[in-house]
């Protein structure tokens, strides 16, 4: 697993949703957790899917389960 970057757009180059775009939002000040946004385009305007993770350990496990390799822009 490569580093998880926040508020950066990345392209999923390996794993589930290959060639989709991803953005991770640190929302710990509002909800206490993290949002993972994925979309087929890097505009993140239409058909955006999200998941919310309760803590950083859950976020890391989520990335491992998806088997993602991400190229961050």
Prediction pTM value: 0.90
Q: Is 3 helix (H, G, I), strand (E, B) or coil?
A: coil
Span 17-52, pLDDT tens digits: 999 999 999 999 999 999 999 999 999 999 999 999
Sheet holding 33-39: strands in order across? 49-53, 33-39, 21-27, 9-14, 69-72
Give percent above pLDDT 70 in the chain.
97
At 1 the pLDDT is 60
């Amino acid at each position: 697993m490569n580093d998880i970057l926040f508020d950066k757009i990345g392209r999923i180059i390996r794993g589930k949703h290959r060639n989709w775009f991803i953005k991770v939002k640190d929302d710990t000040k509002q909800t206490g957790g993290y949002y993972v946004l994925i979309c087929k385009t890097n505009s993140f305007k239409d058909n955006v899917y999200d998941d919310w993770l309760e803590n950083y350990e859950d976020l890391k496990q989520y990335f491992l389960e998806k088997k993602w390799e991400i190229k961050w822009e």
